[in-house]
Amino acid sequence: MEKSFLFSNPLMTILLHFRWLLPLYLQVFCTVINLSKRLLCL
């Protein structure tokens, strides 16, 4: 029942995926910021 609810609710599925992918996005974001700082310092 819970799975069918998730499948019938796209927003919920997107939120779940986002929650799992958020740490990865944050890591990439931090890496990009650090690289930008280094480039700006150069």
pLDDT at 7: 61
Q: Rounded to whole angstroms, how far apart are CA atoms 5 and 8?
A: 5
Q: What integer is the mean pLDDT of 2-12?
A: 68
Residue 13 CB contacts under 8 Å (≥ 6 apart), including other chains: 6, 7
- 28 against 41, higher pLDDT: 28
- Which phi and psi angles does 26 have, rounded to 5°? -65, -40
pLDDT at 14: 84
pLDDT at 9: 77
User: Domain count of the chain?
Assistant: 1
The three-point CA angle 34-35-41 to 5° equals 90
Structural domain span for residue 24:
2-41
- 3 pLDDT higher than 70: no
pLDDT at 2: 59
Q: Rounded to whole angstroms, how far apart are CA atoms 34 and 42?
A: 12
